[in-house]
A and B are shown apart, each in its own frame.
Chain A
Amino acid sequence: MLELANIGVRFGGLQAIDDVSLSVAAGEIVGLVGPNGAGKTTMFNVISGTVRPQSGSLRFDGHDIAPLPAYTRARRGIGRTFQIPQPMHSLTVTENLTVAQRYGTGRVDARALAEILDLVQLTDHASRDAATELSLTELKALEMAKALATKPRILLLDEVLAGLEANGKRTFTQLLADIHRRYGLAILIIEHDIETISTLCPRVAVLNFGRLIADGTPDIVFSQPDVVASYTGMVAHA
């Protein structure tokens, strides 16, 4: 479904992404992990169209999407959330979702919106609360709801669990599993919590200093010495 081949992104003197190839199949959940500054969010920006890579190819459903702007990619089925939630804060929760659905899918379907609100447990806030009045957990739920309203076929989730307490993480992990089961969409998720990633994702890819250093099942990937070293900062000894 999503195929990135030999992607390279350079910001001035910094090689943020270095020759990374990664693919995500339809309906697959893939965890994207790595230490801070590894290039994970840059990868999301490349896929969603916010950042243009200097090299490599980017295909979605077999089509070259590299020349397409971000809004067209969203309409083609690439939904994303932001690490720091970016609600349209002067709009109500429903209006946030209405914009996403209207422009992401070309029409407004009130029943589908109600279903999404119910799924992310924001129904009670639908018409009364502006997005600025939401708690962090609710803002993260709104981020996901906005992405879901565009009817994506792949969902890019950028640290949706960050900043949540243990209960919140469990609730969200269950929510992600529900979303995956109900909509059957592919999910690429950035997350630092190894336990959550191991529970949720049958496959994990690891970035370090812009390079892909591992890609496989969680138990194999997280036992690789260079992956451990990338997190601990210790030199790997084979």
Chain B
Amino acid sequence: MFAQRIGIYVALAIALYVLVPFAFAGNLYLMSMIIASLTIGGIALAWALLGNLGGLVSFGHAAFFGVGSYASALLVMKAGWPIGASLLAGGVCAALAAILMLPALRLRGPYFALAVLAYAHIFRIIATEWKGLTNGAGGIGNIPRFPVVFGYDFASKTGAYWIVLSLVLAFALIYWRIRDSHAGLALRAMHDSEDATRAVGVNSVLLKALMLFLSAFMTGVMGAFNAHYINFLEPDYAFSGLWTMLPIVAAIFGGYRTVLGPLIGAVVVYLADQLVFKALMPIGHQIVLGALLGTIILFAPEGMLSVFAKRPWRPDRTRVTTGLRDA
């Protein structure tokens, strides 16, 4: 069973690496949409580590994305780093930026969300005002593209697709391993009752901090990828609230605590928005996304995948009565 499942995943991965470029490489616009949706999918997976597993709703992931973008671009342009190393460094810088958010971990629910939102805004102001480093609102142009490796140009649409797909699959693997680990179990437990979790020996603050760092790192790497993919950065774009809002919608829409949910959610939501809703409603098309999200939360709170995962032919759970229940 396990081997069969692994076989399916491997076949799926090969199909993603080969069939998608084969089918759509000629349509550069569509490839751009797919790459953008996967970028959001990567952030959605990072967000889901905190939001879906730990119940920490962060409105601040745009900060990690922006810090990763700027860090990678500046390291390559000003310090001459190779892009591969700067992608990781972008993630590390985003994780370091998350240190400033540690005090917010003492807060819960909407207070945590609002505190992180405020922190995120600080980074946007820094990027705008620190003109000597970031060129302020003028932004940074001509950011080096992905290199040619073994004769293949990774700056091409297909090359960028392979890079972002690899990152996203690596993130999905990380998410899967954590979700199914004891740490994942403790995160879910913490989401239900933090007091009760501490009472059984879980260092909840440390666990939340580690997840925040990892989530920030993953988001920073996606930001770094995006900087070298689009070759241009400016604060309003790099720290845009869309880098927070879209992944949240994707993570909730796709599936609560499923591995592929945030990813599939991102692809479906972004492509539907850009290719369908935008065509039907050029101005204000995001309202459809809002309505869709509201519908999902009302009628399928565990996400879109849960609707397909339900098996009506499966017999109902039969409760077995214990002596305690009777007592």
Within the assembled complex, what's the spacing in Å between the Cα atoms of A48 and B196? Answer: 11
Interface flags for B283-327 (1: CB within 8 Å of A; 0: not) read 000000000000000000000000000000000010110111111
Please tell me if the beta carbons of A99 and B327 are within 8 angstroms of each other in the complex: no
B320 touches A91 (CB 8 A): no
Query: B322 to A103, Cβ gap below 8 A?
Result: no
Assess the A100–B200 pair: CB atoms within 8 A: yes
* A214 in the interface (beta carbon within 8 A): no
The docked-state distance in angstroms from the alpha carbon of A121 to that of B325 is 9
B102 CB to nearest A CB, Å: 16
Q: Is the CB of A125 within 8 A of B320?
A: yes
B322 lies within 8 A of A99 (CB): no
Nearest-neighbour CB distance to chain B for A160, whole angstroms, equals 12
Q: Are A88 and B320 touching (Cβ within 8 A)?
A: no
Q: In the complex, A89→B198 CA distance in Å?
A: 15
Alpha-carbon gap, A226 to B227, bound state (A): 75
Q: Is B143 an interface residue (CB 8 A)?
A: no
Contact indicator A87/B192 (Cβ below 8 Å): yes
Verify if A2 is at the interface (C-beta below 8 Å from B).
no
Q: Are B203 and A91 in contact (CB under 8 A)?
A: no
* Minimal beta-carbon separation of A13 from chain B (angstroms): 25
Contact A70 B193 (CB under 8 A): no
- B residues less than 8 Å from A9 (CB atoms): none
Q: Is A220 an interface residue (CB 8 A)?
A: no
| Pair A86/B195 contact, Cβ less than 8 Å | yes
Interface magnitude class on chain A: 35 or more
The answer to whether A88 and B201 touch across the interface, beta carbons within 8 angstroms, is no
Q: How far is the CA of A108 from the CA of B186 in the complex (A)?
A: 13
**A123-150 with Cβ < 8 A to chain B:** 124-125, 128-129, 133, 135, 137-138, 141, 146-147, 149-150
**In this assembly, does A74 line the interface, its C-beta being within 8 Å of a C-beta of chain B?**
yes
Does more than half of chain B's interface fall in helix, strand or loop, or is it mixed? helix
Check if B192 sits within 8 Å of A90, measured CB to CB: yes
Which residue, B202, B204, B317, B324, has most C-beta atoms of chain A within 10 A?
A: B324
CB of B324 within 8 A of CB of A171, answer yes
Roughly how many angstroms separate A149 CA and B196 CA in the complex, as a whole number?
13
Give the CA-CA distance A158 to B197 in the complex, in Å: 16
Q: Is the beta-carbon distance between B324 and A138 smaller than 8 angstroms?
A: yes
- Cβ 8 A contact of B317, one of A98, A128, A141: A128
Confirm or deny: A46 has a beta carbon within 8 angstroms of a beta carbon on chain B. Answer: no
A99 close to B325 (CB less than 8 A): no
Interface residues of A in 27-82 (CB under 8 A from B): 48-50, 69-71, 74-75, 79-80, 82
> What residues make up the interface of A, taking CB atoms closer than 8 Å to B?
48-50, 69-71, 74-75, 79-80, 82, 86-91, 95-96, 98-100, 102-105, 108, 120-122, 124-125, 128-129, 133, 135, 137-138, 141, 146-147, 149-150, 164-165, 167-168, 170-172
With A86-B195, A146-B196 given, name 17 new contacts (CB 8 A).
A48-B199, A49-B198, A71-B201, A71-B202, A74-B200, A82-B195, A86-B196, A91-B185, A95-B189, A103-B186, A103-B200, A125-B322, A137-B327, A147-B199, A165-B327, A168-B327, A171-B323
The 13 listed contacts between A and B (C-beta, < 8 Å) are: A50-B198, A70-B199, A74-B198, A88-B189, A88-B197, A99-B186, A102-B182, A102-B185, A103-B186, A137-B325, A137-B327, A146-B196, A164-B327
